[in-house]
């Protein structure tokens, strides 16, 4: 008999969650102008708005917290964290920061250049924002299948399209490309992985033209798991050997440790270029804190040192990825259209196929987010017309993104499969009644369009 293992942990401490009634949730939604970012977390039964900073820490991490050395400079905790990062990344220079976007900011200040292109598979919002503030021109060059939520399953939909990159080099000249950023896994299109072959080839092409390659490594362990299980030649390679090979192809890596660091706060700027490191140190001192703590408490660094090691254990990753796949498989059985295959950190429902009668300018995925909260107290997030919609810089006219999805992000080591079954029941119910839903109208947005989803206000049509 081949024994099927369940979770590679047992539960030692619990946090109670609260049921609310549909009538109560309707009031909360009205008060929040139909934006679930503005709903109180205590009124969410299952919170899938993000996988960021929401992991359950292990007993080993909690006990490590007590060892936190809070010295201003040269704390013991820094050196433990540094050694753990060097072990997983195989890179020498480690600058901690308070969270991922601080690393994005330092990276952009060092690598992004005014009026020059910044190629990525799909840039995360805070990288795009940091780059745009500096006048740089970020471009999303993921393969076409990665831009289509209805495309058939394939193993590495996060890959960067080398032909698009070559074409830009030919047309604009390599001197007009400041850097390439590969996001692993690719958050904006389903947590889809990038293959080792693609990382290697992007690196080779970049090197030919002396363009620096940076990896946005928020979900580095999940990407490594997909390489191990989907890419030829890696089945017998250890996860950490895979992560080290991934980073061997880049000059610098940035990381929101709130994902695969299995911690609630923290970030990293890691590099093999000493000049870049010296610049990063100074930028960190300016905005984060001294080099050896970078905006984190010593105890945070201790928890991160342990968390990175736990996140790169195969048994943990196998549980983690298969739990997300469990949700995807159950939803497919009920006919709910999702991005296939399921990615690393969540299931992305295709808003276009779910509500084909709601046009994009009436925010179909946001309507779905609202319906899911209203019916079941489950909070997901829109990654579609509101989050990725933009305005033409010349005419000011609204433009609509290729991807129109609702992301159900799964926190690490937090929910059981019975929680996921609740999500399936609720979504299947909404899907069966999909014709009864109408769209939404955007009635408030902040001045920065790329950040509008966090504070937007809506009305139901
Ligand atoms: N890069 C990626 C790929 C991310 O997914 C995030 C955050 C960041 C950078 C920024 O890191 O939040 O620590 O400052 N993603 C979260 C999400 C917020 O919900 O996907 P941060």
pLDDT digits (tens, 9 = 90+) for 141-157: 999 999 999 999 999 99
CATH number at residue 116: 3.40.640.10
Asked whether 124 lines ligand 1 (CB < 6 A), one says: yes
Helices 314-333 and 417-432 cross at an angle (nearest 10°) of: 20
Asked if residue 299 and residue 381 are part of one domain, the reply reads no
* Same domain? 319 vs 306: no
Give the pLDDT mean for 291-313. Answer: 98
Q: How confident is the model at residue 22 (pLDDT cuts 50, 70, 90)?
A: very high
Distance 249 CA to ligand 1 centre (A): 22
Crossing angle for the helix pair 298-311 and 314-333, to the nearest 10 degrees: 70
Final residue before a domain boundary, out of 286, 311, 336 = 311
Asked if 199 and 333 sit in the same domain, the reply is no
Cβ atoms of 360 and 439 closer than 8 Å:
no
- On whether the CB atoms of residues 290 and 71 are closer than 8 A, the answer is no
The answer as to whether 53 is a domain residue is: no
Ligand 1 atom with minimal separation from the 381 CA: 19
Residue 281 has pLDDT above 80, yes or no: yes
pLDDT of residue 5: 82
Out of 154-163, 215-224, 237-246, 395-404, least confident range: 395-404
User: Which residue, chain included where needed, has tokens 């660094």?
Assistant: 301
* Residue 285 shares a structural domain with residue 138: yes
Among the three residues 289, 311, 333, which one is the final residue of a domain in this structure? Answer: 311
Catalytic residue numbers? 72, 124-125, 216, 218, 259, 453
Same domain, 299 and 321: no
Number of helices (H) and strands (E), helices first, in the chain? 16, 16
What's the total number of domains in the chain? 2
322 and 414 co-located in one domain? yes
Same domain membership, residue 321 and residue 304: no
Round to whole Å and give the CA distance between 345 and 111. Answer: 28
Cβ–Cβ under 8 Å, residues 19 and 225: no
Q: Is the pLDDT of residue 318 over 90?
A: yes
Question: Is residue 4 situated within a structural domain?
Answer: no
Three-state secondary structure call for residue 196: helix
Question: Has residue 14 been placed in a domain?
Answer: no
pLDDT in tens, 191-200: 999 999 999 9
Distance from residue 49's CA to the centre of ligand 1 (Å) = 12
Asked if the model's pLDDT at residue 171 lies above 90, the reply is yes
Residue 12 lies in a domain: no
Beta strand pairing status for 252-256 and 137-140? Answer: unpaired
Q: What is the mean pLDDT of residues 57-81?
A: 98
CA 392 to ligand 1 center in whole angstroms: 25
Both tokens assigned to 156: 């590495």
pLDDT value at residue 449: 83
Structure pTM?
A: 0.97
Are residues 197 and 228 both part of a single domain?
yes
What average pLDDT does this structure show over 2-25?
Answer: 93
User: Where is the domain boundary, 261, 292, 311?
Assistant: 311
Residue 353 lies in a domain: yes
In this structure, are 84 and 227 located in the same domain? Answer: yes
**d(C-alpha 316, C-alpha 224), whole Å:** 13
Across the range 353-373, mean pLDDT stands at: 98
In-domain check, residue 9: no
Looking at the structure, do residues 304 and 318 belong to the same domain, yes or no?
Answer: no
Residues 232 and 288 both lie in one domain: yes
Q: Is residue 13 situated within a structural domain? A: no
Q: Does a structural domain hold residue 267?
A: yes
Q: Residues of the chain with pLDDT > 90: what percent?
A: 94
- Tell me what pLDDT residue 448 has: 83
On the question of pLDDT at 2 being above 80, the answer is no
State the residue range of the domain holding 145: 59-311
Same domain as 68, residue 36: no
pLDDT at 459: 97
């Amino acid at each position: 008999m081949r024994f099927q293992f369940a979770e590679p942990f047992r539960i030692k401490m619990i946090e109670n969650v609260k049921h609310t009634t549909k009538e109560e949730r309707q009031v909360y939604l009205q008060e929040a102008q139909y934006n679930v970012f503005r709903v109180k977390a205590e009124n969410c039964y299952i919170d899938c708005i993000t996988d960021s900073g929401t992991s359950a820490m292990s007993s080993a991490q909690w006990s490590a917290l007590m060892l936190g050395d809070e010295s201003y400079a040269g704390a013991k905790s820094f050196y433990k964290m540094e050694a753990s990062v060097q072990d997983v990344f195989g890179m020498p220079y480690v600058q901690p920061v308070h969270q991922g976007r601080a690393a994005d900011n330092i990276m952009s200040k060092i690598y992004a250049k005014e009026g020059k292109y910044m190629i990525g598979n799909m840039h995360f919002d805070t990288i795009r924002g940091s780059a745009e503030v500096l006048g740089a021109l970020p471009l999303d060059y993921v393969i076409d299948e990665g831009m289509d939520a209805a495309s058939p399953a394939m193993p590495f939909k996060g890959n960067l399209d080398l032909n698009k990159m070559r074409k830009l080099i030919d047309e604009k000249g390599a001197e007009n490309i400041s850097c390439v950023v590969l996001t692993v896994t690719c958050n904006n299109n389903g947590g889809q992985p990038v293959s080792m072959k693609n990382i290697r080839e992007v690196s080779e092409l970049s090197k030919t033209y002396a363009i620096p390659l940076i990896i946005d490594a928020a979900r580095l362990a999940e990407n490594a798991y997909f390489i191990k299980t989907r890419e030829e030649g890696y089945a017998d390679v250890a996860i950490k050997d895979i992560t080290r090979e991934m980073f061997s192809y880049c000059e610098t890596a940035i990381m929101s440790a709130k994902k695969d660091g299995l911690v609630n706060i923290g970030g990293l700027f890691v590099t093999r270029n000493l000049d870049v490191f010296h610049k990063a140190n100074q930028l960190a001192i300016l905005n984060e804190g001294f080099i050896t703590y970078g905006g984190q408490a010593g105890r945070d660094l201790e928890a991160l040192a342990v968390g990175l090691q736990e996140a790169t254990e195969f048994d943990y990753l196998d549980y983690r990825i298969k739990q997300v796949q469990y949700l995807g498989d159950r939803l497919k059985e009920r006919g709910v259209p999702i991005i296939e295959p399921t990615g690393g950190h969540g299931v992305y429902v295709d808003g276009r196929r779910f509500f084909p009668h709601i046009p994009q300018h009436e925010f179909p995925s946001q309507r779905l987010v609202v319906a899911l909260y209203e019916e079941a107290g489950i909070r997901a997030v829109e990654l579609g017309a509101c989050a990725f919609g933009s305005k033409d810089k010349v005419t000011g006219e609204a433009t609509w993104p290729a991807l129109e999805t609702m992301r159900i992000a799964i926190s690490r080591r937090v929910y059981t499969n019975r929680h996921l079954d609740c999500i399936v029941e609720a979504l299947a119910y909404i899907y069966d009644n999909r014709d009864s839903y109408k769209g939404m109208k955007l009635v408030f947005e902040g001045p920065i369009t790329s950040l509008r989803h966090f504070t937007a206000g809506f009305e139901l049509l």
